């Protein structure tokens, strides 16, 4: 029984006991009848309270086809080293250097996730006929959600997923020793075309640290392997962790 229902029982019992103690003394049978009436009323009240406090069922996703937009790079909008508010997740993140080809790497990994881990049909926007991949990221850079929804409608998609890379810094060193560890930050969101609602968003922001500096992440450290990761390895791990919460039918 949840807290709401417990309070229902406690408060109800207190209020009705107060009423009973103030009942005028009278016929014994009359008092018994009054007591039974209050008991039945208490039961009915608590049943109604339990019913109204039960959680509502989430709305069905109604998604079969997802339009996948290419990752954009925050360095096209902000200076490197800026602390900015993430457009997708409304959290603060620091921009950094982004390796050449980082967006293409993330695009491939995201499409692979859809094919291997979801029942959705993914439509990579950069493969749609008539759309130039060369200027694609520039055309959707800074686009608001209304435009993304319109793009989804025009291609008969049920939802649109988009993402931004804020940092993709390569490690300096080897698996065993580094002078500068890999650092990756990105964010994504899923928008339902039917109503324009953001039904999922997540951010990943991590710079790899040695185990002695972050003992709380020993599980993740061992899972990734006892080594210093490349930016691609850290990003792939981050994408896997992030997409673990991606909504499925």
Identify which has the larger pLDDT, 227 or 138.
227
What is the rounded distance in angstroms from the CA atom of residue 159 to the CA atom of residue 80?
31
What is the rounded distance in angstroms from the CA atom of residue 195 to the CA atom of residue 145?
11
User: For position 141, what pLDDT does the model report?
Assistant: 53
Q: Show the domains of the chain with their CATH numbers.
A: 3-53 (no CATH), 65-243 (3.40.50.10610)
Residue 214 contacts residue 154 (beta carbons within 8 Å): no
Residue 174 contacts residue 147 (beta carbons within 8 Å): no
What is the rounded distance in angstroms from the CA atom of residue 59 to the CA atom of residue 193?
14
Most confident of the ranges 20-29, 219-228, 229-238: 229-238
Is 0.75 topped by the overall pTM?
no
Most confident of the ranges 65-79, 133-147, 198-212, 221-235: 65-79
User: For position 51, what pLDDT does the model report?
Assistant: 42
pLDDT at 109 over 70: yes
User: For position 54, what pLDDT does the model report?
Assistant: 42
Residue 248 contacts residue 190 (beta carbons within 8 Å): no
Task: Write the pLDDT tens digit of every residue in 45-103.
Answer: 554 444 444 444 456 788 999 999 999 999 989 999 999 999 888 899 999 999 999 99
- For the segment 197-224, the average pLDDT, to the nearest whole number, is 75
pLDDT band at 129 (very low <50, low <70, confident <90, very high): low
Report percent pLDDT > 90 for the chain: 53
Identify which has the larger pLDDT, 210 or 16.
210
């Amino acid at each position: 029984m949840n807290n709401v229902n417990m309070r229902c029982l406690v408060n109800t019992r207190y209020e009705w006991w107060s009423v009973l103690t103030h009942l005028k003394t009278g016929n014994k049978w009359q008092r018994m009848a009054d007591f039974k009436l209050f008991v039945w009323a208490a039961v009915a009240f608590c049943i109604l309270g339990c019913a109204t406090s039960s959680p509502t069922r989430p709305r069905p996703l109604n998604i079969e086809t997802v339009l996948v937009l290419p990752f954009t790079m925050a360095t096209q909008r902000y200076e490197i080293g800026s602390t900015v508010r993430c457009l997708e997740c409304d959290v603060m993140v620091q921009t950094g250097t982004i390796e050449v080809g980082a967006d293409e790497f993330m695009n491939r990994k995201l499409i692979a996730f859809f094919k291997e881990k979801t029942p959705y049909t993914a439509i990579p926007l950069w493969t749609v006929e008539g759309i130039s991949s060369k200027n694609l990221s520039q055309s959707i850079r800074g686009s608001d959600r209304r435009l993304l929804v319109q793009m989804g409608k025009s291609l008969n998609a049920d939802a649109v997923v988009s993402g931004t890379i804020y940092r993709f810094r390569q490690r300096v060193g080897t698996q065993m020793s580094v002078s500068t560890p890999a650092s990756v930050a990105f964010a994504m969101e899923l928008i339902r075309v039917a109503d324009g609602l953001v039904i999922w968003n997540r951010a990943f922001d991590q710079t790899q640290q040695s185990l002695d500096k972050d003992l709380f992440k020993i599980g993740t450290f061992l899972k990734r392997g006892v080594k210093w990761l490349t930016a691609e390895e850290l990003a792939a791990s981050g994408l896997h962790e992030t997409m673990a919460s991606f909504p499925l039918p």
